[in-house]
């Protein structure tokens, strides 16, 4: 088993955090994993993306030239990275910020109104956890218990007040 993922959006949307959390959850679940972040020097507002490769065997290369899963959190990411999805793969589209439809017909497109759902929950910054939950539940490669442990670690200390919100956001969307 090997799952290649690509997360893309703009700085400040929590793209790198999504990649880190699925990486740590996979490690906690005893899987081999690589994580490769990429972002511009301006960070917030600039481009941000990362690759995550999860496998039951050691991963030889963190680079992803064809992904099983691509997450597009904004329109520039959809435009630039739609072609990265392998035929039969999944493209997760943040329909709160993307009003354009993907052009490919050989992939599964999963619409997630992440920002709208986060706003309904009272915190627009939870959009990344909504999308991460949609991805995690769709691919089912890492157990929810592993994500819960990682959330407890990530949202502790000064961020402890955000734990319940992020748990709820992670479980807000169930995708088959």
Q: What is the mean pLDDT of residues 40-47?
A: 66
Residue 176 lies in a domain: no
In the predicted model, is pLDDT for residue 20 greater than 70? yes
Residue 25 lies in a domain: yes
| pLDDT, position 62 | 87
| pLDDT, position 51 | 97
Beta-carbon contacts of residue 114 (< 8 Å; ≥ 6 apart): 73, 94, 96, 127, 128, 130, 131, 134
Residue 175 lies in a domain: no
Considering its fold, how many domains does the chain have in total?
1
Residue 100 lies in a domain: yes
Owning domain of residue 71: 2-170
Cut 0.85: pTM above it = yes
CATH number for the domain including 75? Answer: 3.40.920.10
Residue 51 lies in a domain: yes
Residue 50 lies in a domain: yes
At which residue do the structure tokens 């991460």 appear? 132
Euclidean distance between CA atoms 99 and 122, whole angstroms: 23
Q: What is the overall mean pLDDT for the chain?
A: 94
């Amino acid at each position: 088993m090997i799952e290649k993922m690509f997360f893309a959006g703009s700085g400040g949307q929590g793209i790198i955090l999504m990649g880190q959390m699925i990486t740590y959850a996979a490690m906690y679940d005893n899987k081999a994993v690589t994580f490769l972040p990429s972002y511009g020097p301006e960070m917030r507002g600039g481009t941000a993306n990362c690759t995550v490769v999860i496998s039951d065997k050691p991963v030889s290369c963190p680079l992803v030239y064809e992904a099983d899963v691509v997450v597009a959190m904004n329109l520039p990411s959809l435009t630039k990275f739609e072609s990265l999805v392998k035929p039969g793969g999944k493209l997760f589209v943040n329909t709160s910020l993307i009003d354009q439809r993907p052009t490919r017909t050989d992939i599964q497109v999963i619409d997630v109104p992440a920002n709208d759902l986060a706003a309904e929950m009272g915190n627009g910054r939870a959009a990344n956890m909504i999308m991460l939950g949609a991805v995690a539940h769709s691919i089912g490669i890492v157990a929810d218990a592993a994500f819960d442990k990682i959330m407890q670690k990530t949202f502790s200390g000064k961020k402890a007040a955000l734990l319940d919100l992020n748990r709820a956001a992670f479980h807000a969307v169930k995708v088959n």
